[in-house]
Amino acid sequence: MNINRKTFLKNLGLGLAGAGVTRAAAEAWNLPEFNASYPTPYWTAVREGYEIESGFRYLNSGGLGPCSRAVKKYTAQIESELEARVETGHDLLESAREFVGEFLGASVSEVAFVRNATEANGIIAGGLDLEPGDEVIFESHAHPGGSFPWLLQAEKRGVVVKLFEPDPVSVSGNITRIEELITERTRAVQVSHITAPTGILIPVESIAALCRAKGLWFHVDGAQSAGMIPVNFAKMGCDSYATSGHKWVGAPRETGVLIVKRDRQDDVKSVMVGAYSGDVPSLPGLLDYYPGAMRYEYGTRDVSRILGMAEAMRIQEQMGRERIAEHGSMLVKQLRRGIETVADVEILSPNHAQLSSSMLSFRSPRIGYRELFSVLVQDHGLRCRPVSERGLDAVRVSCHMFNTAEDIDLLIAAIKTTVSTA
C-alpha cells in the first residue's frame, strides 16, 4: 500500500510539531539494506531501535508491544510542543486520521481514535440496535476485551450470546461453524481476526461474504492483527474493525482505532458523546453527529499518543508490512521446528499456512503453564504470556519485528531444559 506521507506531515506544520520531528525520528533508526538471503543484520538493527533491558527477551507483543525509541521520542516531542503552548492539538488529528485510514485500508471518514480495542468493541456491541432475544455469534476463544462488551449487552438488553469453537486445522471449518449457529434471530457476528490464546488467523473475508448474504453485522476484533500482518479494511469486507495501537503496531499505550463503514455509521449509535462527536445548534436540541466515524470520539484526548500511533504505523510502512509479517512467521516456524519433536511438548497453534500467525502457544503435561511461564522469564529472561483462557493452560510466544532468530534459539533451549528437568 502506498501511504500518502505528505498528507500526514502537512498538518503537523500548523505552528506546532513540524516535519523536523518526524525526520529526526526516522533518522534515529539507521537500518541497513535488507538482504533476503541474510536478513540477520537487518533485524538486529531493528532490535537496536528499542530500549528493552539488555538480556531480557520480550516475546509478548500480543499482550503489550514496546514502543521503539523513535516512537517514544516523537511522541514526547509532540507532547512537549503542545505543552509549551498549552494546546490540545486536536486539529492535528485530522492528518493522522487520514494516514491511519490509509494504513488500515479505510477512508478518513471511517476512522475513530479510541483508547484501546476493548473500547472499540464496546462501541459496536453497545451501539447496534438490538432487542431482547437478538443473537450474536463470536468465538469461544474471544479475549475479555471482545467478549465482555457482549456479555454486558446480554445483561442489559437480553442479547443472546452463541459461541463457536475456532477451527485450528480447517479454514472452511471456521465458516461452517458460524453458519451452523445462524438463526432468524442472529443480528451480528464478531470474530477475532487473530485469536488471542493460540493465534489462529480467522478467514475474515469469507465470513464477511457469509454475513453480507445473511444481512448480519460483521465486526472484526483486530487487536492482534494490525501491525502483525497487513490489514485492509475495505478488502476484508466487514462492517467494523477494532484494533489496539499498543500491541503489534508499537504505538504508545492507550491508543486504538475503530473503523466503521461510512454508509453503516447510522446503525451504530455512539455510547458516549461530547465535544467533537457532533453539534447541537442550540440547547435543548437534537444532536447533529459529525458525518464520519469521528462521531464516536468525545472530549479532550492525548493527541501526542495518537500521533505517536500514526508515527509507529509510518515506521512499519517504511520497513514493509509484508516483511514484518514474514519475519514473525519465520520465527514461529523456527520455534515449531525446535520444539515439535521434544518429548512432552504439545503445540496448540495451527500448522497451516492460511491459519497460522506470528504467535505460537504450547504446553507440557510435565509442568504447569504458570510455572513454565515463570521459569522462562525468571531463569532465562524470556518473557512470554501464560494462557489461562478456556483451560488451555499454555504459554504463548509472540514473534515480532524486534525479535531475532537468537531469541528463538534461546527459547527453544530453555523449553527443552525446563520440560526435561520438570
List residues near ligand PLP by CB under 6 A: 116-118, 143, 145-146, 192, 196, 221, 223-224, 244, 256
416 — phi, psi (to 5°)? -60, -50
Question: In terms of Cα–Cα distance, which of 367, 356, 369 is closest to 396?
Answer: 369
CB of 135 to ligand PLP, least distance (A): 21
Nearer to ligand PLP, 44 or 140 (CB): 140
Whether 310 contacts 8, CB under 8 Å: yes
Nearer to ligand PLP, 95 or 192 (CB): 192
Supply angle C-alpha 121, 104, 210, rounded to 5.
60
CB of 256 to ligand PLP, least distance (A): 5
CB of 295 to ligand PLP, least distance (A): 20
At position 357, the amino acid (one-letter code) is S
Question: In terms of Cα–Cα distance, which of 26, 17, 48, 75 is closest to 254?
Answer: 75
Cβ-proximal residues to 284 (8 Å cutoff; 6+ apart), any chain: none
Alpha helix (H) residue ranges in 263-368: 303-319, 321-339
Question: In terms of Cα–Cα distance, which of 278, 292, 307, 341 is closest to 76?
Answer: 307
CB of 223 to ligand PLP, least distance (A): 3
Buried b (16+ CB within 10 A) or exposed e, 6-42: ebbbebbeeebbeeebbeebbeebeeeeeeeeebeeb
Nearer to ligand PLP, 116 or 240 (CB): 116
Strands 240-244 and 256-260: antiparallel
Whether 113 contacts 97, CB under 8 Å: yes
Nearer to ligand PLP, 25 or 59 (CB): 59
Nearer to ligand PLP, 25 or 226 (CB): 226
CB of 201 to ligand PLP, least distance (A): 12
Q: What are the CA-CA distances from residue 87 to residues 76, 302, 304, 406 (Å)?
A: 15, 11, 11, 45
Residue 49, C-alpha cell as written in the block? 531501535
Whether 236 contacts 219, CB under 8 Å: no
Nearer to ligand PLP, 143 or 305 (CB): 143
CB of 341 to ligand PLP, least distance (A): 29
Nearer to ligand PLP, 81 or 393 (CB): 393
CB of 388 to ligand PLP, least distance (A): 13
Nearer to ligand PLP, 68 or 116 (CB): 116
Q: What are the CA-CA distances from residue 274 to residues 88, 90, 262, 285, 392 (Å)?
A: 16, 14, 20, 14, 42
CB of 332 to ligand PLP, least distance (A): 17
Whether 361 contacts 197, CB under 8 Å: yes
Nearer to ligand PLP, 121 or 186 (CB): 121
Strands 359-363 and 382-383: unpaired
Whole-angstrom distance, CA of residue 24 vs CA of residue 105: 27
CB of 115 to ligand PLP, least distance (A): 8
Nearer to ligand PLP, 42 or 113 (CB): 113
CB of 125 to ligand PLP, least distance (A): 12
Distance of CA 344 to the CA centre of its chain: 32
